Amino acid sequence: MILKTLSPFLSHEFIILPKMKIKKYISVFILVLVLLSCKEEKVQLTQVCVLIDVTDEKFRDDNFVEENLSKYLRLMKLDAESGGYSGGEIKLSLINEISDSKSKTVKIDVAETGMMGENPLTRRDEVQRFNNNLKESFGSVLNEADWGTNASKIYQKVTRELLKMKRKEADRNYLIIYSDMLENSDLFSFYGQNWQQQIKKLTGDPANTLQELAKKGPELPDLSEFEIFVVVTRNPENDEKINLSEQLWTALFEYRGATVSFNSDLEL
């Protein structure tokens, strides 16, 4: 193939050039072929929504944001030190006694890749600014939160955020929930008399449960393109409830097609 491409140059006039010069021309030509055949980095547009339950004051810790930002960037194929060309948005909102609450969203555009793409150093600076904006915005939301409230309208808040994400275009969708997922609302509750019996009934028939919940609030949408991470705080007092909570929410999310992970830390 290379010889065929070089044939116009291999004329009688070209052949009489010194051998060293011929080798130089061939080397340059091969280098150009290699550069042109290089594949551009595949970039993706990612949505990440982070929900934090204000009933757990553990998440108001000053180190919480610092410890988790790098993980959020990793989901977006970005790194504060090396950069990356993918883009998208990260949103932070709170779970409290209100079914919808204030939030902060930070965005970064997808960058051009390849030989004519954005300068890697310039892109790294953009990613670092994105990281700093995230840190500042998230810190602001957490500092202004009303921590320690008793009621948690988890189902309505989670469903509303998922519906908002569904209305946007993205290659990958992640929902990260920092909560024990112990709903305490008019829909259902992990507290009061006979709570265990009620939760087990809801878990046993997710189709009927979702149908009944949709009559009282927003309907949980199709989640086949979503990955959901639930980060819980366990202790001897709540361990039994957390186990039942995991069973219920996993049943509901998976019934709608999501990939679900329940852990004590954000494991990617």
Per-residue pLDDT at 56: 78
79, 27: one domain? no
11, 72: one domain? no
Task: State the average pLDDT for the chain.
Answer: 85
Q: What is the pLDDT of residues 21-52, one digit of tens each?
A: 565 656 555 544 444 434 456 899 999 999 99
12, 96: one domain? no
- Give 16's pLDDT tier (boundaries 50, 70, 90): very low
163, 49: one domain? yes
31, 50: one domain? no
Per-residue pLDDT at 25: 58
DSSP letter assigned to residue 178: E
116, 203: one domain? yes
Is residue 268 assigned to a domain? no
Per-residue pLDDT at 8: 47
Q: What is the pLDDT of residues 179-216, one digit of tens each?
A: 999 998 889 999 989 999 999 999 999 999 999 999 99
- Alpha carbons 175 and 228: distance in angstroms, whole number: 5
pTM for the whole structure: 0.82
140, 194: one domain? yes
Q: Which residue has the higher pLDDT, 264 or 130?
A: 130
108, 115, 199, 226, 262 from 87: Cα distances, Å: 5, 19, 40, 17, 26
- Alpha carbons 225 and 237: distance in angstroms, whole number: 35
Is 263 buried (19+), middle (13-18) or exposed (0-12) by CB count in 10 A? exposed
171, 50: one domain? yes
Query: What range does the domain containing 250 cover?
Result: 45-263
The pairs formed by 204-209 with CB atoms below 8 angstroms and a separation of 24 or more are 206/251, 206/252, 206/254, 206/255, 207/255, 209/251, 209/252
| CATH code at position 131 | 3.40.50
